[in-house]
Amino acid sequence: MAKPRVFRDEKLQSEFNENGFVKFKLLSEAQIHRIDDFYLKTQEQHEIVIDKKKFHATNDTDNPELIAKADSFIKEVMGEEIDKHFFNYKTIAASYLVKQPSDASGLGPHQDLRFVDEEKFYSFNIWIATEATNKTNGCLRFLKGSHKLYDTIRPLPTYPWKYKSVASIIPDYFTDVPTEKGECIILNHACIHASYPNLSDHTRVAAIVAMIPQEADILHYFLPESDPKNKVEKYSMTLDDFINLKGGQRPENAKLIDSFDFDFSPIEVDPFVKWLQQNNPDKKPGPAANNGSESLGRKLLSLFKKK
């Protein structure tokens, strides 16, 4: 069964379906300025975490007032344009994603959390930076088509990533996606992606809004720590449940709708490499590198929820 359409433009929808990401011009210079201005006014509050984190999100501040204000401000500005490009959607959370100028500000290959039943739906971010992005200041990179490869559960607070076994191979096959000022990237949360460290002389600021098709339920997958035999718990969530989610804990008021076993064993390397080569005949593998995926669970946590 085809997944519901959300783009008004058929070509953008089909590129997104095919690759797992697509970019287009979303915001005007004035709208970008407002997004930037809000960040500058709250910079000190946002940067409270920079001793520990060179890539950080509004949620990392643990400042409920700031998190709520940034959420509604970003939705307000982006909301002026979103309906021109999308229909049949609902928004989840909005946040700033900030890269300090540091070689520790890169994000290794990862998939974002799973918010919906991905056999029927998909969830995605609208991601937009306040300046043009490139390899030097931390642009995004994608493994084309990887959202269609395996059905993966990406739970919290543990994040037993099925692609861990191949994380060091993936970057050789990434497609870099630089952006012009005002251009956004729509990324499927199941598409493997990463971003370069910011090696420029100033902070790279981006804003995201997470969205899902209108008819999809918002879900949260919880996998308790320590015992690999634990079952995955699936909760039906409201936006408030997400806002009130505490790190490492079950959602307090959300309804548990299922509890099931899932095979989190890492994928086999050889068939994956074959797939990589077939899908990216123009790319050459280099020596395997450590791409920083070990701190992934922690970084993902900060993308989407409060502590």
Ligand X SMILES: O=C(O)CCC(=O)C(=O)O
Provide the binding-site residues for ligand X, judged by CB under 6 A: 97, 99, 107, 112, 125, 127, 138, 140, 193, 195, 206, 208, 303
Contact 23, 177 (CB under 8 A): yes
Would you say 112 or 233 has its CB closer to ligand X? 112
Least separation in angstroms between CB 209 and ligand X: 10
C-alpha 250: how far from chain center: 21
Quote the DSSP letter at residue 8: S
Least separation in angstroms between CB 107 and ligand X: 5
Q: How far is CA 298 from CA 52, 156, 162, 301, in A?
A: 12, 10, 16, 5
Would you say 101 or 224 has its CB closer to ligand X? 101
Residue 16 is encoded by which pair of tokens?
């997104």
Least separation in angstroms between CB 138 and ligand X: 5
Least separation in angstroms between CB 140 and ligand X: 6
Amino acid at 278: Q
Q: Which residues contact 55 (CB under 8 A, 6 or more apart)?
A: 97, 98, 99, 100, 104, 105, 106, 107, 195, 299
Contact 220, 101 (CB under 8 A): no
Would you say 6 or 208 has its CB closer to ligand X? 208
Contact 221, 233 (CB under 8 A): yes
Least separation in angstroms between CB 230 and ligand X: 26
99 in helix, strand or coil?
A: strand
Residue of closest CB approach to ligand X: 195
Least separation in angstroms between CB 57 and ligand X: 9
